[in-house]
Chains A and B, each alone.
Chain A
Amino acid sequence: MAEAAHNTQDGETTRRDFIYIAGASVAAVGVAATIWPFIDQMNPAADTRALSTTEVDLAAVPEGQQIKVMWQGKPVFVRHRTAAEIASAQRDDFANLKDPQTDADRLVQENGEAGQPAWLILQASCTHLGCVPTFVEGSAFGGWFCPCHGSDYDTSGRIRRGPAPKNLLVAPYLFTGPTAIRIG
């Protein structure tokens, strides 16, 4: 401001500066507050958030089989484990694990109650870079194998070999009946 120099009285300078600073601060607050709705609109919309649960009928999954269901737009494994798979998973609870976790811990329901050993509910995304692993009968650890970068998971979905750092994530689920679960 070129004419700032020819203001002589101190009081006047103070008052003038106050108005400018107040105006600029209020305007800055306004701009900042205006930005928020434009950021927030990119968050998941209410309809997307409401689709966050999926109901699954377990009666349709025979023992030794699994189905893939969609939950929040992502695949989830619902595996009906055989006695052999359960035994193998429990046996390895204290093996040398990269991401140590017991099989029982991986069956816990959303509300903290214990699950059923026959039913393993896993998010079907390899913890390495997000590909969907395949269940390979008779693979090195009896469980899932990720075709992208060769991670091996056991029958509890724990990482045993390969680049993935973590066990397959357990999907939050709840038994809503003897043969029905709700995911999410």
Chain B
Amino acid sequence: MSGPSTYEPKSGITRWLDRRLPILRLTHDSFVAYPTPRNLNYWWTFGAMLSLCLIVQIVTGIVLAMHYVPHIDMAFASVQRIDRDVPFGWLIQNIHSVGASMFFLAVYIHMFRGLYYGSYKAPRELLWILGCIIYLLMVATGFLGYTLPWGQMSFWGATVITNLLGALPLVGESIKNWLMGGFSVDQPTINRFFSLHYLLPFVIAGVVALHVWALHEAGQNNPVGVDVKSKADTVPFTPHATIKDLFATTLFVILFAVFVFYMPDALGHADNFIPANPLQTPPEIVPEWYLLPFYAILRAFDFNIGPIDSKLAGVLAMFASIGVLFILPWLDTSRVRSMRYRPIARQFFVIFVVVCVFLGWCGGQNPGNILLKAGQFTATLSWVAEGQLSERSIEAPTAAQWQETADAAEAEARSQGADMTAVTRTGETTGTIRVVTGGNPELQTVEASTPDLLEEHIAEMKAEVGQAAPFYTVVRSLPPRFTVTNFSQVLTLYYFLFFLVILPILGLRERPDRVPDTIAKPIAQGAP
């Protein structure tokens, strides 16, 4: 579409068609004669793979919809029927579920490529934003689709996400009700999720058309990041880009096929093979792998920020982590597009990729898991064995004076030769004091690697001692630790710093390497 059309109809029929509906001209100008920078590397082939993924998902999805039943009592069984009884149903269902993962794998590489080579900078801001919209729609479609098999993960994922949207101020409650269509995730929910899951891919296809249109208007970016200046900088799209895309896409399909045929369930979760049960939450709820980084950001906020409670903060941060991508073209102040010529930004970019991977890892872990700790968790139990146990009730004059009264009673007991005392409060002002006199003081220390295990060991120790000890004093020593949540917090901080601080400041201060004048020049000089 850049430059005048070079299409010349050769036969009478094409001339006739060209006067009335110049669709061949459009195809020729967009996908045949279209000038492509000659230095595009393999990172530029993911667009073709993504088109393939969209087509595959739509075709397999339409086929699955011929057999799937969106009903809470039949959805799970209908998926089982597809896998068992429908001719080639197992194949088509595997392609569809693995396809979602492949789609996201390709889109993430595509996005990181755009980030590295500055493909969001003028004049491609809208192109980038349209891409972000496609990504958001993909997330929505993926989530809706994941609920349809109506397994445990489906059900509880739907419950968690609808509640999460419900946390949004003002509109949240309404959105939640519109999605659920009832008081909980139930029959109306699965019905409308199915409807929307069928609809959104076609919306994606529409936005993809805009994305491609915008791409062809602005022209493709390239690894050097300088604009096309002459015909020497480009090759025709067909056959040069087409054949390269085809080759790379075939390699991608090989990976796809390995998953479909040899590990179709590797990317799923075992709990989704358990039919949905509204009475029981699975021990751990995790989304599909491609949403794990956002899940980690959501869970990183376990503290209130002023008037914003932790739940809302997590939700807002999660949306902001995608929202920040929309304004990225205006956050990055550097005039150099490609990070190939930005040595410092390149290093921050590598850290950013690693951070995203680790965020994904954190999203899949139990948030309380301890990654690092200063020492073992220990507890010291002390008790008196074979002592004389006596018990009496105490009463404070007012509730406020309870502590004083209790302390006084204990001090009194000790002055009378008690070895150990314990006060149990039974009411506002009443309680009992138990006193052990005589006997042998005993001491035991237990050690564990997590606080939960420590409590377990304490309980075991108590069971072991049994009747010999009337009661215990337990002193716990919990050294500082670094949990998955803490790790997520650090990673989340970097995620936002990268976009909101590093890119804006670095763009102004960094001294970039020398950028070639034209695309053709470094090639002529033999550089990659």
Contacts and interface: CB of A to CB of B under 8 A. Distances in A.
Contacts of A38: 59, 63, 88, 92
B511 interface: no
B490 interface: no
B87 A47 contact: no
B63 A45 contact: no
Contacts of B91: 37
Contact of B89 (A2, A27, A45, A48): A45
Interface string A31-58: 0000001101111011110000000000
Contacts of B246: 27
B236 A41 contact: no
A42 B59 contact: no
Interface string B84-98: 111111011000000
Pick the most buried of B81, B88, B236, B246: most chain A CB atoms within 10 A of its CB: B88
Contacts of B375: none
A91 B88 CA distance: 52
A37 B81 contact: no
A47 B246 CA distance: 40
Given A1-B239, A2-B236, A40 B85 contact: no
A1 B242 CA distance: 12
A37 B86 contact: no
Given A1-B239, A2-B236, A45-B81, A37 B88 contact: yes
Given A1-B239, A38-B59, A38-B63, A45 B86 contact: yes
Contact of B87 (A2, A27, A40): A40
Given A1-B239, A2-B236, A41 B85 contact: no
A183 B92 CA distance: 34
A40 B84 CA distance: 14
Contacts of A1: 239
B66 A42 contact: yes
B89 to A, nearest CB: 6
- What's the dominant secondary structure at chain A's contact region? helix
Pick the most buried of A27, A40, A41, A43: most chain B CB atoms within 10 A of its CB: A41
Contacts of A2: 236
Interface string A14-43: 000000000000010000000001101111
A33 B86 CA distance: 18
A45 B84 CA distance: 9
Interface in B63-77: 63, 66-67
Interface string B42-74: 000000000000000001000100110000000
Contacts of B66: 41-42
B520 to A, nearest CB: 17
B264 to A, nearest CB: 15
A46 B81 CA distance: 9
A21 B246 CA distance: 15
Interface in B214-237: 236
Contacts of A48: 85
A47 B87 CA distance: 11
B481 to A, nearest CB: 52
Contacts of A46: 84-87
A41 B63 contact: yes
A43 B87 contact: yes
B88 A47 contact: no
Nearest to A47: B85
B36 to A, nearest CB: 14
A180 B102 CA distance: 55
A38 B56 CA distance: 11
B239 A45 contact: no
Contacts of B81: 45, 47
Interface of A: 1-2, 27, 37-38, 40-43, 45-48
15 contacts: A27-B246, A38-B59, A40-B87, A41-B63, A41-B66, A41-B67, A43-B87, A45-B81, A45-B85, A45-B86, A46-B84, A46-B86, A46-B87, A47-B85, A48-B85
Interface of B: 59, 63, 66-67, 81, 84-89, 91-92, 236, 239, 246
Q: Which 5 pairs between the two chains have the least Cβ-Cβ distance?
A: A37-B88, A46-B85, A45-B85, A40-B87, A47-B85
Given A1-B239, A38-B63, A41-B88, 4 more contacts: A45-B85, A46-B85, A46-B86, A48-B85
